[in-house]
Amino acid sequence: MTTLIIIVIYLGLLLGLGIFSARFSRGTSEDFFVASHSIGPVLLLMSVFGTTMTAFALVGSTGEAYANGIGVYGKMASWSGLIHSAVFFIIGIKMWSYGRKYGFVTQCQYFRDRFESNAIGYVLFPILIALVIPYLLIGILGAGSVLLGVTKGALPAVFPATGGAIPPWLTGLVICSVVLTYVFLGGMRAAAWANTFQTIVFMIMGCLAFYIISTKLGGLEAATQMAKPERLIRGDHVPQLQFLTYCFVPLSVGMFPHLFQHWLTAKSAKTFRLTVIAHPIFILIVWVPCILIGVWATGAVIDGVRIIPEGARANAVLGIMVGKLAGSPYSGLVTAGILAAIMSSLDSQFMCLGTMFTNDIVFHHFGKDRFSEKQQILLARIFIVFIVLLTYAFTLFEPRRVFTLGVWCFSGFSALFPLVFASVYWKRVTKPGAYACIVTAAAVWFYFFRDSNYGKVPDYLVLGMMPVAVIFLCSTIAIVVVSLLTKVPSQKTITKYFPSSAQEV
Amino acid sequence: MKKIIYGAAIVLAILHQDFWYWDDATLIYGFLPVGLVYHMVYSLLAGLLWAMAVFFAWPSHIEEEAEQSIQEMEKNTAL
């Protein structure tokens, strides 16, 4: 019960933060959508990091480490440390400059202008939304799994079917409602402040969870001694080619709609510097404790009894370890930290959806002047609620492993990376080439995703590689070949985006 | 300096495939698997690499160009 009270207090604090940030709202759509470009370096770092550290990073990494061992750090975390910052550096800063110079708020606005095509936005928009939905889904699934594990036995009379634990459907409903509320109250500014607060909370609580769990297991050495030996190496659990081709997954940050929006909220390009440097370090701080907890869970026993029951789902491992070992009030604090990580991603995604819909569909089709500031914000909110309800409906189906679903989601965005990279660095890329890239990426991604039974197969490979490698290759070939075979962009566009070398292509 | 940084990034990418620790069960400080420690150090090196990139290879020209464009647009609007 103490755990539940702490969680309720934490959620209340978030709502309070939303109400407080709303006082600073200027009431304009620009303030609602991009906080009037007033976010500085620390807030940007916390915001970006909070957005990228999701249920995937906590629930997913722990579960994956439980299932396949330490290799998950190398697969995702260390590759991300190198590649995320590279993408921020080579793509993010350029995107910031285009946003500042030409007033873009969304990716679709940028791509429409870059490729001289209105229709490309209508093609890209549903694909981006479709890929964001799994990203929302892993957050809601992750939260539900954690609370299911942590609150076991808390309310047996109220929830007998789950052994007294808060059922995932209720957790999902509550966190969606809390996030929607503070986002609706304060917009992007509330999301940025909440991200900062929540990033600090989950980093501190992550360290706390690690300390408490290791102590309860008899210390760091004793905990590791309990683990299954095969989880302490990569061995056969991680094929070498799979490990290598995981490098394509972090490229997804180049096309995350909500990160693009974060890049736009920076005061200046200099505000990216801290993010570029600190991101790999912050990833390390969050992932290492989670992975060790997952590995320890494979053999952790207290008084001769296994902590994790045989056959337990990977998603449930973190929640069970925290629930059984942290004890009150720490389990409440740690759970709040986990929820913080999850919600800090959800808020940015919710904001992003609303911005995309209003700008890329409604304003683009009907014209912005047709709607008042209040109507613009209302339209965004309606669409956000629609997508959240749709995603929530998906959570009621058989759940997938958070890590697996997360990788599929990221793979889709990674497959579109050739599009953004070419748009920034290749003058010769054409409109048909861009279409070919988008359609190929979407089609090949869906083909493999369906073949994996929509993420049900956890270690689905294509020719021994991560599917993202093959999809990336296909979309790259499509954009290059089709661009070379089609008419070059107009000189006006080339001059606009490549001013220092404005020559005939 | 930029070329050194780009080269370092490529070397770091190559070093990611640490096949020499693949089946090594050595524990560092008695609890950290060596395969995990290697990649923790890798993450620290990535941070160092990007710190060098920020201090020695920051694309200042992008910022200057953007600010110049904004000033010109504001001037045109005022006129």
- In tens, the pLDDT along A339-364 reads 888 887 788 788 788 888 988 888 88
> If you write DSSP's letter for every residue of A85-149 in order, what string do you get?
HHHIIIIIHHHHHHHHHH---SHHHHHHHHTT-SHHHHHHHHHHHHHHHHHHHHHHHHHHHHHHH
Q: Closest Cα to residue A337, out of A209, A194, A214, A188?
A: A209
Q: Kindly tell me if the per-residue pLDDT of B17 is higher than 50.
A: yes
Asked if B37 has any chain A CB less than 8 Å from its own CB, the reply is no
User: What pLDDT is stored for residue A36 in this prediction?
Assistant: 43
Going A160 to A162 to A165 to A166, the CA torsion angle's sign is negative
B63/A270 CB distance under 8 A = yes
User: What's A1's DSSP letter?
Assistant: -
User: What pLDDT is stored for residue B24 in this prediction?
Assistant: 94
A81/B47 CB distance under 8 A = yes
d(CA A406, CA A256): 13
User: Is there a cis peptide before residue A329, judged by omega within 30 degrees of 0?
Assistant: yes
- Whether A285 and A209 have beta carbons less than 8 Å apart is answered as no
Chain B residue whose CA is closest to A270 = B63
Residue A301 parent element (H or E): strand A301-302
Q: Closest Cα to residue A177, out of A376, A385, A387?
A: A385
Contacts of B66 in chain A (CB under 8 A): 96-97, 100-101, 269
Q: Closest Cα to residue A147, out of A133, A162, A135?
A: A162
- Whether A347 and A195 have beta carbons less than 8 Å apart is answered as yes
User: What pLDDT is stored for residue B35 in this prediction?
Assistant: 96
Going A144 to A145 to A146 to A148, the CA torsion angle's sign is positive
- Whether A250 and A84 have beta carbons less than 8 Å apart is answered as yes
User: Can you list the residues of chain A whose pLDDT is less than 50?
Assistant: 35-36, 502-505
Q: Closest Cα to residue A80, out of A88, A69, A91?
A: A88
Q: Which of B18, B19, B50 sits opposite A277 (nearest CB)?
A: B50
User: What pLDDT is stored for residue A266 in this prediction?
Assistant: 67
Give me the count of residues in chain A.
505
Q: Kindly tell me if the per-residue pLDDT of B63 is higher than 60.
A: yes
Q: Closest Cα to residue A71, out of A308, A403, A402?
A: A403
Average pLDDT score over chain B? 90
User: What pLDDT is stored for residue A348 in this prediction?
Assistant: 78
> If you write DSSP's letter for every residue of A230-294 in order, what string do you get?
GGGS-GGGS-HHHHHHGGGGGGGGGT-HHHHHHHHHBSSGGGHHHHHHHHHHHHHHHHHHHHHHH
* Interface with B, mutate which of A226, A232, A496 (most B CBs under 10 A): A232
A224/B46 CB distance under 8 A = no
Q: What is the pTM of this model?
A: 0.89
- Cα B27 to Cα A90, A283, A401, B19, B36, distances in angstroms: 37, 22, 29, 17, 10
Contacts with A352 (C-beta within 8 Å, 6 or more apart), sequence order: A132, A257, A258, A261
- Cα A457 to Cα A70, A248, A403, B2, distances in angstroms: 20, 20, 11, 43
* Interface with A, mutate which of B11, B18, B31 (most A CBs under 10 A): B31
CA geometry: angle B30, A303, A1, nearest 5 deg: 105
d(CA A399, CA A137): 9
Contacts with A119 (C-beta within 8 Å, 6 or more apart), sequence order: none
A288/B31 CB distance under 8 A = no
Helix and strand counts by DSSP (H, E) for chain A: 24, 2
Q: Which of A71, A220, A284 sits opposite B40 (nearest CB)?
A: A284
- Whether A484 and A262 have beta carbons less than 8 Å apart is answered as no
CA geometry: angle B41, B45, B46, nearest 5 deg: 115
Question: Which residues sit opposite A462 in a β-bridge?
Answer: A465
B13/A247 CB distance under 8 A = yes
Contacts with A463 (C-beta within 8 Å, 6 or more apart), sequence order: A470
Q: Closest Cα to residue A315, out of A78, A72, A145?
A: A145
Q: What values do phi and psi take at A226, rounded to 5? A: -75, -25
Distance in Å, alpha carbon of A46 to nearest chain B alpha carbon: 16
